[in-house]
Amino acid sequence: MSVKVTGEKQLLAELEKRFGKAKMQQVTDKALDRGADVFIKELKSQIKSVKDKGYSKGYTAEEIYKSEPMTMAGVRTIKIHWNGPHGRYRIIHLNEFGTVKNPNPPLKGAIARAMRNAESAYREAIKKAIQEGV
């Protein structure tokens, strides 16, 4: 079953006309920030749920970082990435997808699982933030 939504651009234009562009951007940024927090919480739980094989020190979960809201290609966005002294950003893709020598690492698919699990909670956080802001 599919649904076609029409009038989205008119709705956004009307909201900007009523509340102003700056206020709408503040509301959007607040909603994105809350949604990113929900996703980060789920991502950390997925990463920490992997059994310790003796070499894990928890740096992958520690170094998750959320950027400030920014506009990319005309859309407000928050990036979630890894940043810290242990350089996990260099190897996180190896944990997510595996390698030739280690095709099934312990964290394989953790980011994809976190995205799938947090989708409904993310949408609810966005809705709630928008309702409070408008």
Output the pLDDT for position 76. 92
pTM of the model: 0.83
CB 32 within 8 A of CB 2: no
CA-wise closest residue to 12 among 31, 20, 127, 70: 20
CA-CA distance, 83 to 96, in Å (whole number)? Answer: 17
Please tell me the distance from the alpha carbon of residue 122 to that of residue 106, in angstroms, as a whole number.
Answer: 25
With CA atoms as reference, report the closest residue to 106 among 54, 64, 62, 63.
54
Read off the pLDDT of residues 45-66 as tens digits, 9 standing for 90 and up: 998 877 666 567 888 899 999 9
Average pLDDT, the chain: 88
The structural domains of the chain, with segments of one domain joined by +, span: 8-133
pLDDT single digits (tens) 7-60: 778 877 888 888 898 998 999 999 999 999 999 999 999 988 776 665 678 888
